[in-house]
Structure 1
């Protein structure tokens, strides 16, 4: 059997796939396999792995590489540019054999090419955990090896498991007032002060417990109940934030997500004005978050958005960078805030394209005289990068997950006390 047009025997049988699965920590018996035609790189990686107590097999040819791979291979360091067979061909072969090892891509070529190779590997079902652009600092290699020997698990789940829920349960949730609001604080990067809270809906199911919106929002839309759901959410949030802010005489900005259907309703601004008056909640302290997709029906949306701003409500464009809005539309929307989607924040420290997106969104937001908030901030490294790039605000697990009313009150009080000290 041959690799493409090369006559190297394939030593990796289909059943001899890697023992570990993506994301699992390596045990002390697991091995690293490096393939790189540069002898110096091999010596550096081998020496560092040995110093860290890891076993590393250094190979320079595809034949040797596949001959070293076994059931205890857990991490592969793969050079993309080699004289006999390039890394893309090797990735394809690994994908065909359902490789489950974690992979680090290495090369001295343009970073965008490396990232394209990463996307290819992911499309083949491979687990790429990082890249090294030559010449790379030893500390970067050390961090990659260390992270994959004992990777830290996130404090909170990144993706909630999808649950199949009968429509009758969902209708019953409306009738029995089972929807609740959790609040996630938003922090000003320059001062560390809490500027606001975002209201996030949850469903307290009597049998299944707390259910996240990914499991029911699409069904609410399909059942034609979105308007009813949005008004329930808005009224509960206004009431609760007004109540829990009374204890410390501080009313944070309240961010509420509004639906596309609300932007089609010409009565929406007037109804919201009356609701804010009912709870004596200043309109300028209410931030209405809209997604880029909500700007698709632009003429009607612009009517509603303009009248909302004339009534002093604040507007924020949520999940920016993932939707459909055109630059001209963004320029015309009277928003005061852009929110960087968490998918860009999550990998910006090791994915150049994501970092560029974050930089450009911050730059564009500021040029349009908007504040820019980054969602999904989970690490000090992400926080540092955002601060250096001039981002205005952040929210995410680094500070707090979304909390129910009683807990967010305690968190806000504790945070304010720390700021005073």
Structure 2
């Protein structure tokens, strides 16, 4: 049963981190211990990432006619009654067909303190399968955003775009991160360009002497060729078998993807509505006290989308001993018209945000770090070369 948040009770059972910013995994565990984050099924240790928590599908999915937001006065459950087409039992596994929209109540629910908000995004593997996933809450007017003090259930909207997928109760498709808010001048926010330059001078954020910034760190596309096959990316095939998202390393890439070799002119023309996996020219180093999110660089620069799952945990590509870093892998789709990309072209940017505390384990040091040190890499469901 939903109930209004009690700020006094929430504050009494929540011990804040040392400063405003994104909460690390140990603080997320504290949310669980204090009852601010609960689950129908006990949380698994593998769900805790350095700065986020993996969310799990619940027992039932609802196939609906269209995507929706409940609005400021409605619950998701109320909207489902009007839009529901079919209820699907996920306990034994079920197929989510491409082109269809599903809403699933998640196992986790929240009772947040008044000064803690949350935001969600697809997991990296979800984005690389072209599965469109967004978080919905009761009485919300925006996807993937949870207001401070929210008390209630969480839902995932899931819409496979290219491949039909098999999921089951407990499947993890998206993740949530929590933000502690300060008061007045001590409120944390994203780092400005000058702060990024100064940080890069002390500890490189990318493997380049100069930092390209434009309201965040600019990323450029790699079209010169990577690896022994000199590839620049992969284009998804349109008619393939179903992908079981729990089957790790179980599929041959050639059954689902067309490799794209580098061209002598180092360019690539994106076909409208085709789905591509490409990589950044830069290798990233996300330091322990920061996390980063990939955001569009400027809609006026091209009608294409360059990310679905663009959150980078502290420690991604980072090591004090001079690790070479990890490229950002991008899920790319052109809209309406063909679009020409050239090697080194700006395609997106990273917005960096302070952690409230450094996490007790960094990305790359936990067992679920599937993409540390990556170059051009498909999702974990595929056999890796």
Q: TM-score range by the shorter chain?
A: under 0.3
Higher relative contact order (CA 8 A, sep 6+): 2
Higher helix share: 1
Give TM-score scaled by structure 1 length.
Answer: 0.22
Give TM-score scaled by structure 2 length.
Answer: 0.23
Greater Rg over alpha carbons, structure: 1
Higher strand share: 2
